[in-house]
A = this chain, B = another copy of it.
Amino acid sequence: MTADLLDAFALLAEYGALADAGDYSEWLGLFGQRCSYYVIPKENDDRGLPAALIFCDSRAMLEDRILSLRAANKYNIHVDRHLIGLPRIVSSTPDSLSVEAPFAIYQSEQEGDTRLFAAGLYRDRLERTSGGLKISEKKIVLDSFAIPSLLATPL
C-alpha cells in the first residue's frame, strides 16, 4: 500500500509537471496503450450522466487532441500551473489501482494576471505494467461546469 501510494504520488507529480512544461510527448507516455481521458462536470458525474466536456475513449483520440493542440489550434497563450493535492488510494487489485487526487489549475496570461482556472478531482485508474504504473482511465471531475476560458491545454 505504501509503495502504491508513492508510485501514484510520483505519477501524478509527473502528470502535472509535464503538462505545465508543455512536454506533451512525455505526458502521453504516462498513459497506457488502451486509455481514456474525460473531462466531466461534477454535477453530471454525481448523477451518472455521461455528458462530458472532453471525451477521448481511446489513445488515438487523445493523441489526436494533443496533435491538434500543437499544430492547429489557436487559443489564448498562457502558462498553466497544476497544483495537485495529496492523493489517496481508493482501491487496489493485482492489476490496477484506483486513485483520487484534488487539483487546482492556475493560468497566467501574457498581460501578467494569474487566476484560478479550474478546481476539481482526478479519478484515475492506473494499471500495473512492466514499465510501472500507467494511466488507463483519467476522469477529470470539474467542480464547476463553467470554466473561464477555452479548454485548450490538458487538465
Contacts and interface: CB of A to CB of B under 8 A. Distances in A.
Interface in A65-83: 79, 81-83
A112 B20 contact: no
A5 B14 CA distance: 13
Contacts of A3: 2
Contacts of A42: 79, 108
Contact of A81 (B6, B106, B143): B143
Given A106-B104, A114-B143, A119-B114, A83 B85 contact: yes
A84 B86 contact: yes
A106 B114 contact: no
A108 B143 contact: yes
Contacts of A82: 85, 102
A85 B101 CA distance: 11
Contact of A16 (B85, B111, B114): B85
A33 to B, nearest CB: 23
A32 interface: no
22 contacts: A2-B3, A2-B6, A5-B6, A6-B6, A13-B86, A16-B85, A17-B88, A17-B102, A17-B121, A79-B144, A81-B121, A81-B143, A82-B85, A82-B102, A83-B103, A84-B102, A111-B146, A113-B144, A113-B146, A114-B143, A114-B144, A115-B116
